[in-house]
């Protein structure tokens, strides 16, 4: 049981949903390399949420293994109101069922960076995103959450 001097608890709050699609032949979004693995490809997508909405351009770096891969998904969100939010995620892709070899589950920690005063609060939070990646369709689907006080 927490004592009277302990800090208040936190919970995860939904930030946005992310849908990403690989684009063959697309140029890298960011000029520098990833933190994990080798460059795998780039793509586009969308972010949908109550606080952040827009289009996404991304690069994926992955350290490949048969069942679990380290990943670094990085890119840029261009919000519907014209702001730019960079993001950098580090996490894992895991293939839980070899009977469905194209389906991977994913989780990552995400850091945001923006100069927009409207979204500056994102510079001070880490997000968690979880979801899936289907190698057959080259589509990613995530839900992003941030930690907020109770």
Asked if residue 63 belongs to a domain, the reply is yes
User: Could you give phi then psi for residue 81, rounded to 5 degrees?
Assistant: -95, 10
Asked if residue 3 belongs to a domain, the reply is no
Asked if residue 4 belongs to a domain, the reply is no
User: ∠ at Cα 58 (55, 60), nearest 5°?
Assistant: 155
Contacts of 7 (CB under 8 A, 6+ apart): none
- The answer to whether residue 28 scores a pLDDT higher than 90 is yes
- The answer to whether residue 7 scores a pLDDT higher than 60 is no
Backbone angle region of 115, left / alpha / beta, with phi > 0 → left and psi within -120 to 50 → alpha: alpha
Asked if residue 125 belongs to a domain, the reply is yes
pLDDT mean over 93-104: 90
pLDDT at 4: 57
Neighbours of 10 (CB within 10 A): 11
Q: What is the dihedral of CA 118, 121, 127, 129, to 10 degrees?
A: -10
- The answer to whether residue 5 scores a pLDDT higher than 60 is no
Asked if residue 113 belongs to a domain, the reply is yes
Asked if residue 8 belongs to a domain, the reply is no
Asked if residue 6 belongs to a domain, the reply is no
In the chain, the number of structural domains is 1
What pLDDT digit, counting tens, does each position of 109-146 carry?
999 999 999 999 999 999 999 999 998 999 999 999 99
Composition of the chain by helix, strand, coil, percent to 5: 5, 60, 35
Tokens linked to 100 = 């469905």
pLDDT at 9: 85
Neighbours of 11 (CB within 10 A): 9
Asked if residue 2 belongs to a domain, the reply is no
Helix (H, G, I), strand (E, B) or coil at 123: helix
| Structural domain containing residue 63 | 13-149
CATH at 106 = 2.40.160.20
pLDDT at 2: 53
């Amino acid at each position: 049981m927490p004592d009277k001097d302990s800090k208040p608890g936190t919970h995860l709050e939904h930030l946005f949903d992310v849908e990403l699609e690989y684009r063959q032949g697309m140029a890298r979004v960011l000029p520098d390399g990833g933190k994990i693995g080798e460059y795998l490809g780039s793509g586009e997508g969308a972010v949908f949420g109550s606080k952040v909405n827009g289009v996404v351009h991304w690069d994926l770096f992955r350290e490949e293994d048969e069942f679990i891969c380290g990943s670094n998904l990085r890119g840029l969100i261009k919000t519907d109101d014209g702001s730019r939010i960079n993001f950098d995620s580090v996490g894992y892709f895991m293939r839980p069922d070899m009977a469905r070899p194209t389906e991977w589950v994913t989780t990552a920690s995400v850091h945001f960076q923006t100069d927009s005063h409207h979204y500056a609060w994102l510079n001070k939070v880490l997000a968690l995103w979880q979801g899936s990646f289907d190698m057959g369709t080259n589509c990613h689907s995530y839900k992003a959450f941030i930690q907020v006080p109770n």
